[in-house]
Chain A
């Protein structure tokens, strides 16, 4: 938790101190989300564990990506989007008690399509720190190196930091985007089908990377790939038709699910 987030917390939250000590990062209670009149999320109740990988799975259009985007308020940018219920991050309501800009620095995001800016590799990673007002070259150099190392791409890129990021391969671009997200020192990393545009080798490297990241970060990932969820997720939540049907540890959800819809989905009956 960064100091800036602390500044946004009101003094009243004795209960949230308990939440901070507990192992829950996000606690979502009765979340409903509407695009205009269309209800995309229905009564979502979900808790996510700190420093664990949580996978959100489900067929296309089930609301898993929409839900992910409520966690860093990216849906605020969508016209006509309206949300009810509460989402707490470390005990703080992110819609009522937190500036979205502060939230997004604390909750980084990696997108489906690798989206490095049309700038140099260095400037991509330094973008977030610069937004925070860091201008000293030495400090930026350190952040860039540290972030690229964390994303396991420093050795590949250290000699071409000034080159355009658009010249990298898709897999490299995605790892650069992970480094860019880590550079603002978030506590949570959201990944929106971050490997679906990549080849199997690049996908394997990103999965490996995500596995090491959970030592420090909470990772919440949307995936349409059930094998991927089984390979790396600690917990998995199954979404269907805008509802969160079932959430459990990954092994249980795939091998011993409770709900009929989950059984049908994980056995490949539909999807």
Chain B
């Protein structure tokens, strides 16, 4: 009897936890396989080449099983990459500067005011960012540059940069805080100023963490759909300037998936775009892991 209770205590918990763990693994695998199967239909069933999908400029998939359209998704891919990159260019300097400020220059203010504010930033739903972008930023860009419409790559990038700013800031701040103070002492001991210590010892020592933060930010920017869809203009044309409206992978999937016929060419092409997003985020994670491993080897 008592053995039975002991057995139950020991193994029910363990069994439950293992089951949940297994479920996550299975779910992830299932999603991967599902995406692979649906995403490859464009190439297997409808006979398009990978290079047409990645580099083709014409996006005219047929919304039926017969196919025969064009699935050049380059304009979406370019839109996604350009908006994310510009967002990074805007956000990274601010984020890293904030991270340095709240850890090394004014830790008091950082802990009491700025960090909590940054955390609140991170918790705001993306639809709010998109809406504010649409109501405030878009008309502002339209007026400033005398455009027929303000929805543009620039608007999307600015909204994205605000959205990824808290991610990059707080992870960079953690990385900077975890730099062993003995390195900083060593530099101060040689007569370095605070700024010299920051740029010649602190940032190099924290660079792996900062790089990880940047990749996580990039990954978030790349995968964001709603806020971007609201301000990018959803124009199915290859982006020619920062001020031009454009399109991106996530917005295209979100806006077209409802109408696309199941099993049709359009539907398959959208799945391929989803697969592309999946592979990109997988690569981002691999990159972060590699950076982490290299860091361990050097520490």
**Residues of chain A with a CB closer than 8 A to B123's CB:** none
Q: Is A52 an interface residue (CB 8 A)?
A: no
Which residues of chain B from 184 to 217 have any CB-CB distance to chain A below 8 Å in the complex?
185-193, 196, 200-201, 204-205
The answer to whether A184 and B190 touch across the interface, beta carbons within 8 angstroms, is yes
- Which residue from chain A places its CB closest to the CB of B205 in the assembled complex? A118
CA distance A264 to B191 in the complex (A): 39
Is B2 in contact with chain A by the CB < 8 A criterion? no
How near does chain A come to B61, taking the closest CB pair, in angstroms?
51
Question: Pick the contact of A117 from B186, B188, B298 — CB < 8 Å?
Answer: B186
10 new A-B pairs (CB below 8 Å) besides A101-B193, A184-B191?
A74-B185, A74-B188, A101-B192, A111-B186, A115-B183, A117-B183, A117-B186, A117-B205, A164-B298, A166-B299
B176 to chain A, nearest CB (A): 14
Any A CB within 8 A of the CB of B9: no
SS class of chain B's interface: helix, strand, loop or mixed?
helix
The answer, yes or no, to whether A72 is at the interface (CB within 8 Å) is yes
CA distance A103 to B201 in the complex (A): 20
Asked whether A201 is an interface residue with its Cβ less than 8 Å from the other chain, the reply is: no
Counted as pairs of residues, one from A and one from B, with CB atoms less than 8 Å apart, the total is 63
Q: With an 8 A cutoff between CB atoms, is A154 at the interface? A: no
- Tell me if B298 and A128 are in contact (CB < 8 A): no
User: Is B182 part of the contact surface with A, judged by Cβ < 8 Å?
Assistant: yes
Q: CB of A181 within 8 A of chain B?
A: yes
For the complex, is A265 an interface residue (Cβ under 8 Å from B)?
no
B185 surroundings in chain A (CB, below 8 A): 74, 77, 111, 115
Q: Within 8 Å of chain B (Cβ to Cβ): is A177?
A: yes
| Residue A113 at the chain B interface, CB threshold 8 Å | yes
- Which residues of A from 116 to 137 have beta carbons under 8 Å from B? 116-119, 127-128, 131-132
Separation of A181 and B192 alpha carbons in the complex (Å): 12
Check: A64 CB closer than 8 A to any chain B CB.
no
Instruction: Say yes or no: A128-B182 contact (C-beta < 8 A), given A119-B204, A164-B298, A166-B299.
Output: no
A242 contacts the other chain (Cβ, under 8 Å)? Answer: no
Q: Would A180 and B205 be within 8 Å (CB), given that A74-B185, A118-B298, A131-B196 are in contact?
A: no
Selected contact of A104 from candidates B190, B200, B298, CB within 8 Å: B190
A181 and B190 contact, CB distance less than 8 A: yes
A-B contacts, 21 of them at CB < 8 A, read A74-B188, A77-B188, A101-B192, A101-B193, A102-B191, A103-B191, A104-B190, A108-B189, A111-B182, A117-B186, A117-B187, A117-B204, A117-B205, A118-B183, A118-B204, A118-B298, A128-B191, A131-B191, A131-B192, A131-B200, A177-B186
Q: For B186, list chain A residues within 8 Å (CB).
A: 111, 115-117, 177, 180
A206 at the interface (CB under 8 A from B): no
B157-186 CB contacts (< 8 Å) to partner A: 180, 182-183, 185-186
Most chain A CB within a 10 A radius of its CB, from B189, B193, B298: B189
Q: A117-B183, A117-B201, A119-B204 are in contact. Are A166 and B298 (CB under 8 A)?
A: yes
Instruction: Report the count of interface residues on B (CB-CB < 8 A).
Output: 19
Docked CA distance A72–B190 (Å)? 10
CB of B73 to closest CB in A, whole Å: 42
Contacts of B188 in A (CB 8 A): 74, 77, 104
**Within the assembled complex, what's the spacing in Å between the Cα atoms of A108 and B299?**
26
Give the Cβ gap from A112 to chain B, nearest Cβ, in Å. Answer: 9
Known: A113-B182, A117-B205, A119-B204. A74 touches B189 (CB 8 A): yes
B298 touches A105 (CB 8 A): no
Closest beta carbon of chain A to B18's beta carbon, Å: 39
Contact assessment for A180 and B190 in the assembled complex, using a CB-CB cutoff below 8 Å = yes
With both beta carbons as reference points, the residue of chain B lying nearest to A76 in the complex is identified as B188
Residue among B190, B200, B201 making CB contact with A105, cutoff 8 Å: B190
Whether a CB of chain B sits under 8 angstroms from the CB of A144 is: no
Question: A109 interface residue, CB < 8 Å from B?
Answer: yes
B280 to chain A, nearest CB (A): 31
Residues of B within 8 A of A164 (CB): 298
> In the assembly, what is the distance between CA of A74 and CA of B190, in Å?
11
B205: A residues at CB distance < 8 A = 117-118
Whose C-beta in chain A lies nearest to the C-beta of B194? Answer: A77
Q: Are A108 and B182 in contact (CB under 8 A)?
A: no
